[in-house]
């Protein structure tokens, strides 16, 4: 029986991979995103499947709001309604505050929106780790 479905943004390596694997060991089916290195993401999916859970790796750049929307939709389509969202993907922009565009600041707001109960994408918990932003 599944403890639920988790989506780990930036879950293909490092801390994100460890979180994804821990969630799987705790009984969650896990979707994870990666920007590059699909083989590395595939290794994490295999490790999750080896502990008896379902997993999917989704190519998505967390700096791109449309990629975030697509990743959430794909995770929900493949694994079901999300119970947990972990924002481990950091987005680095070097500029003055005035230089940021609405599109760039939209990433943090979009992730925060997805975690709100009324959004309906995450039914349980949303946490941020390592550089993510949740308002």
The residue ranges of every structural domain in the chain are 4-128
What is the rounded CA–CA span in Å between residue 69 and residue 22? 25
What local confidence, expressed as pLDDT, does residue 111 receive? Answer: 60
Q: 98, 18 in Cβ contact below 8 A?
A: no
Q: What is the pLDDT of residues 65-122, one digit of tens each?
A: 788 889 999 999 999 988 888 888 665 556 565 665 655 555 556 666 665 554 555 5
Task: Summarize the chain as % helix, strand, coil (round to 5).
Answer: 45, 25, 35
Q: 38, 13 in Cβ contact below 8 A?
A: no
Q: 70, 9 in Cβ contact below 8 A?
A: no
What is the rounded CA–CA span in Å between residue 135 and residue 131? 13
What local confidence, expressed as pLDDT, does residue 133 receive? Answer: 41
Q: What is the pLDDT of residues 25-78, one digit of tens each?
A: 999 999 999 999 999 999 999 999 999 999 999 999 887 878 888 999 999 999
Q: What is the CATH number of domain 4-128?
A: 3.40.50.720
């Amino acid at each position: 029986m599944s403890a639920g479905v988790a989506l780990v943004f930036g879950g293909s390596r490092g801390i994100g991979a460890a979180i994804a694997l821990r969630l799987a060991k705790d009984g969650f089916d896990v979707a994870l995103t990666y920007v590059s290195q699909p083989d590395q993401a595939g290794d994490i999916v295999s490790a999750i499947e080896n502990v008896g859970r379902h997993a999917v790796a989704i190519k998505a750049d967390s700096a791109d709001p449309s990629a975030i929307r697509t990743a959430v939709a794909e995770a929900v389509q493949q694994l079901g309604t999300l119970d947990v969202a972990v924002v481990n993907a950091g987005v680095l922009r070097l500029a003055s505050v005035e230089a940021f565009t609405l599109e760039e600041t939209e990433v943090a707001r979009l992730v925060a929106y997805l975690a709100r109960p009324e959004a309906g994408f995450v039914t349980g918990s949303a946490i941020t780790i390592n550089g993510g932003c949740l308002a």
